[in-house]
Structure 1
Amino acid sequence: MRTRVPWLLLAPSIVFMLLLFGWPLVQGILTAFRSGGAFTLDNWARMWHDAYFGRALRNTLLLTVIVVPVQVALAIGMALLLQSRPKLAGLHFYLWTIPLAMSELAAGLVWLSIFSNRGYLNSFLSWLGISDGIGWLDYDNPAGMLFAVVVAEVWRATSLVFVILVAGLQMVPRDFDEAAQVFGASAWQRLWHVTLPMIRPSLQVALILRTILAIQVFAVAQALTGRNFPLLVGETYQWYVNLQNASVASALALVVLAISLVVSVVYLRALRKRVAA
């Protein structure tokens, strides 16, 4: 009887998870591999040969590779600065977390007013006499579009990683850092050998969560570039809403899911190996 009690207590949560995640996942898989009630790979072939798919996959991976390391580095620096307890530390914390209160679309529209051809950035550059105007979001300027989306995402979502790392740093005893200082460890050595290993669980959570969210970026890029800078989730939206093809949209969603799962497993295994070492 005792062995059944834990399962009985977990049963409501298990049923809830199966209904909330399991059933939609099964339906998505069936939709991606079916057409007209029969099994087919035509949906995947159509997705693969679509002119936007290759660009969307490349842009999504490139954006993730650039954004996540920058955000983690900035968040670590911000968290360490806050831990040093500067003046008005509480004000710093609230200012840095303001972007968390904004939706992705709102953040995208804010940065659209900055990067558009007649936006604040071009006006400022023109005032300085540096340039008459740069087409940051022009179709023939993929580097400019990537830069705009990266800046918008870094501004919008770094605070999420920052909050997680601040919570992790609160659990690190200051005695360890003070002991390292006594033995002559430099600031970099204390960070690499004391602080980061102690906040590894928080860093792991932040990396997994932020990478998955970076793979799923949609509204910011949509507001800034439309379909000129395609991303996987944006293409999923296009196929489902505009092209009215739920099967190809489901295939794209499964690609996003697969990439997210692979990244999560890589993070978990990599950090676990470091602990074992």
Structure 2
Amino acid sequence: MPRMLPYLLLFPATAFLILFFLYPFTLVAIDSLRHDGVWSLANFDRMAGHWKFGITFRNTILLAAVVVPLQLTLALMMASMVTRLVRARGAVLYIFAIPLGISDLAAGLVWLAIFEQSGFLNSALTGLGITERPQLFLGYQSKGVIFAAIVLTELWRATAIMMVILVAGMGLIPKEYGEAAEVFGASRWQRFRRVTLPLLKPSLQTALILRVIMAFEVFAVVLALGGTNLPVLMSETYHWQFTMQERGVAAAYAMVILGISVGFTVLILRLLHVPKEARP
């Protein structure tokens, strides 16, 4: 019985993964590789040949390339501030983490209420006399503003996810390392760069992997703020599945998103690999 205990403890998690991940993934993979009852790459050819595929792929990669580095920088700053606090640390951490309780769509609607023509931003600008009449910030000709609005929404909504992970990681770093570096004359920036960051690599791995995967799956925020004016891979997956009723092409899009996520996950693991003997 003692020998079987570890396997019994792992069984619920294993069964959950098989039932809710491996089985659906297998069905999606089969759908992506079958067209009219024949095994082929026709669904991928149709996906890649569609005029919106290049645009959606570029928008998704560009959003991730802008949002994730900004969120990492903000999360490191916020985590460092929370870690150094002596008083009201729990209150500050709670305030920073409030957006975690808001869904993607709700966050998009909150920022839509700011940027829309009758929203808070236009009210403030007209009230201060900066503009004479409300501006159409999220129109089809303002893709740059839509992109910026989505970036701001994602920064507000999901930075706390990385911050919480980094706060936990910083709490595991022995204080003696920083104190020793300070004794030898290292500045605050040098201690952060030479001591904190190297020892924070395991937490950085987790935070970046989770956030990168979420960045490639962005959908509700884009839908709320941009609609079809700024298509991304997930919105096209939804479009092909429910509007076009082309399950095979939608499955091909899903496999592309999965492939990108796995590729970046492997890259992050390689770049931030930490040998066991080097961990605190």
Distance 1:276 1:262, change over 3 A: farther
| Mapped contact 1:135–1:144 kept (Cα < 8 A) | no
- Aligned AA for 1:18? I
- Give TM-score, length-normalised by structure 1: 0.92
Report the alpha carbon displacement of residue 273 of structure 1 after superposing the two structures with TM. Answer: 7.3
Unaligned 5+ segments in structure 2 are none
Aligned partners of 1:116 and 1:126: how far apart in 2? 14
Partner of 1:95: 95
Report the alpha carbon displacement of residue 19 of structure 1 after superposing the two structures with TM. Answer: 2.9
Aligned partners of 1:30 and 1:227: how far apart in 2? 28
Aligned partners of 1:260 and 1:268: how far apart in 2? 12
Aligned partners of 2:4 and 2:84: how far apart in 1? 49
| Mapped contact 2:201–2:273 kept (Cα < 8 A) | no
| Mapped contact 2:71–2:159 kept (Cα < 8 A) | yes
- The reply on whether 1:166 has 2:167 as its aligned counterpart is yes
| Mapped contact 2:32–2:248 kept (Cα < 8 A) | yes
| Mapped contact 2:68–2:212 kept (Cα < 8 A) | yes
Partner of 1:85: 85
Distance 1:123 1:172, change over 3 A: same
| Mapped contact 2:79–2:166 kept (Cα < 8 A) | yes
Report the alpha carbon displacement of residue 251 of structure 1 after superposing the two structures with TM. Answer: 0.3
Report the alpha carbon displacement of residue 48 of structure 1 after superposing the two structures with TM. Answer: 1.3
Partner of 1:39: 39
Partner of 1:256: 257
Report the alpha carbon displacement of residue 134 of structure 1 after superposing the two structures with TM. Answer: 4.0
| Mapped contact 1:136–1:148 kept (Cα < 8 A) | no
Aligned partners of 1:98 and 1:13: how far apart in 2? 29
- Aligned AA for 2:61? L
Partner of 1:268: 269
Give the count of matched residue pairs.
Answer: 277
Distance 1:12 1:77, change over 3 A: closer
- Aligned AA for 1:85? L
Aligned partners of 1:272 and 1:170: how far apart in 2? 20
Deviates further, 225-234 or 124-133: 124-133
Partner of 1:107: 107
Partner of 1:175: 176
Deviates further, 260-269 or 169-178: 169-178
- The reply on whether 1:51 has 2:51 as its aligned counterpart is yes
Distance 1:134 1:231, change over 3 A: same
Q: What SS is found at the alignment partner of 1:272?
A: coil
Aligned partners of 1:110 and 1:260: how far apart in 2? 28
| Mapped contact 1:32–1:44 kept (Cα < 8 A) | yes
1:69-96 per-residue CA deviation (whole Å, 9 max, x = no partner) reads 1111101101111111154322211111
| Mapped contact 1:75–1:158 kept (Cα < 8 A) | yes
- Give TM-score, length-normalised by structure 2: 0.91
Partner of 2:60: 60
Distance 1:5 1:106, change over 3 A: closer
- Aligned AA for 1:46? R
Q: What SS is found at the alignment partner of 1:168?
A: helix
Distance 1:92 1:225, change over 3 A: same
Distance 1:119 1:36, change over 3 A: same
RMSD between aligned residues = 2.3
Partner of 2:141: 140
Identity of aligned residues (%): 45
1:39-92 per-residue CA deviation (whole Å, 9 max, x = no partner) reads 232211221122322111111100000000111110110111111115432221
- Aligned AA for 1:120? F
| Mapped contact 2:202–2:274 kept (Cα < 8 A) | no
